[in-house]
Chains A and B, each alone.
Chain A
Amino acid sequence: MNRQALAVTIVASDTALNFNCFMPPPTDSTPDTQSPHISVLSLSVPVAMGYIPLGMVFGFLFVQAGAPWWLALIASVTVFAGAAQFMMVPMLAAGLPVAAIAVATLVVNLRHVFYGLSLLDKLPRQPLARWYLVFALTDETYSVLTTLPPGTSTRQMVTVALLNQGWWLLGTLLGAVIGAQAKIGLVGLDFALAALFAVLAVEQWRSADSAAPLWVALLAYAVAWALMPQQALLLAIAFSVLAGLFWPAAKVKKVAP
């Protein structure tokens, strides 16, 4: 890969809307590149520790929002994108148009466009394995795949991706079943979602070039709320995309060779 592509990838993943903060960097836990069987499994363990509780929160909130438990499973099988799945819960409950949720998904997952750039040569050529890995390219699977030593077999790469999606499904199922049975009298448990967004916003802020997007978002939401309270979120996202397009290009962070 050329230098420019590497720079793009690193800048992109630097500012990524990611869940990587939920687990220790996989590199720390895999000094043993001699035995790939052990390293594949051990790379997936920290992912499990993040995916199972988070998947439970998703399943729980989705069912509490009024969806049947099996729909939560379908979401985790077919979409498999943590932040987008969380984002969709309030939008689905509010009955927003499909096109609006599709646009929001596009925006929230935009970072994934950059992930493939550093994996173009690394993913297996065999079509089924290659396209499953592309499908399963979450923040965590991406970070694990980029950590695997060269010469890792197709089977091992697919195993790690399948394990990761398995943890996500397991968490979703547990959370959905609990959510379907719980008749909880406590107000405010779904504040977990706001707390998750707060955590992600803090991590975005920590890694951002500037805090300008945050101020733009606050202003955009205030204006959108004044204009159309019912569509404030959608309108504010549109304002932010416009602002992002016309914002003077921040200087690109220098990447060490």
Chain B
Amino acid sequence: MIDTSYALGVLAAMAVVTFGLRALPFLAARFLQSQPLVQRLGRFLPLAIMTLLLLHTLVGHARDNPAGPWAELVAVTAVAVLQWWKKHPLLSILTGTALYVLLRNPDIVGNL
């Protein structure tokens, strides 16, 4: 169970940070345009952060899976290939999740 006051604190911090970022250009447009570091980070970080979030989530799933990391690897490869090929996020997400659920719950195949 998540502690409510802790969660509210997190949400407040996230709201302030997000609004601050969205409002910043309206307060300091010229300054930002002149900062090469801001531009460099803006190009470098998105792919790095997404890779990290993906890795971290996968590692979490794999640690809960006594059968080893194979189901995670198969499902994430399916999502990546499907997305690269079809460019249809909902299709990729639903297919990958369904595949993973099937791999982790082999007995539902028998019940179908």
Q: Do A and B originate from a single complex?
A: yes
- B53 CB to closest chain A CB, in angstroms? 5
**Is B89's beta carbon under 8 Å from chain A?**
yes
Contact between A109 and B84, CB atoms less than 8 A apart: no
Known contacts A92-B2, A240-B52: A198-B12 contact under CB 8 Å: no
A213 touches B14 (CB 8 A): no
| Pairwise interchain contact A117-B21, C-beta atoms closer than 8 A | no
Question: In terms of DSSP, what is the predominant structure of the interface of chain A?
Answer: helix
| Cα distance, A243 to B52, chains bound together (Å) | 14
Min CB distance A172 to B, Å, is 13
Least CB distance from A14 to B in Å reads 9
1/0 contact trace for B36-66 toward A, CB 8 Å?
1111111111111111111111111100000
Q: Chain A contact residues (Cβ within 8 angstroms of B): what range?
A: 35 or more
Contact in complex: A195, B96 (CB < 8 Å): yes
Contact B100 A92 (CB under 8 A): no
Does A5 touch B at the CB level, under 8 Å?
yes
Contact of B84 among A87, A101, A202, A232 (CB under 8 A): A202
Is A227 on the interface with B (CB-CB < 8 A)? no
Which residues from A are CB-within-8-Å of B72?
191, 194
Q: Closest chain B residue to A67 by CB distance?
A: B2
Given A218-B51, A240-B45, verify A71-B4 contact (CB < 8 Å).
yes
Flag if A135 contacts B22 (CB, 8 Å).
yes
Q: Is the CB of A249 within 8 A of B57?
A: no
24 intermolecular pairs with C-beta atoms under 8 Å apart = A4-B33, A15-B43, A71-B11, A78-B14, A88-B14, A95-B6, A107-B49, A111-B46, A113-B42, A123-B26, A134-B23, A186-B105, A187-B104, A194-B75, A195-B100, A198-B79, A199-B89, A205-B47, A213-B48, A217-B47, A232-B59, A236-B55, A240-B52, A252-B39
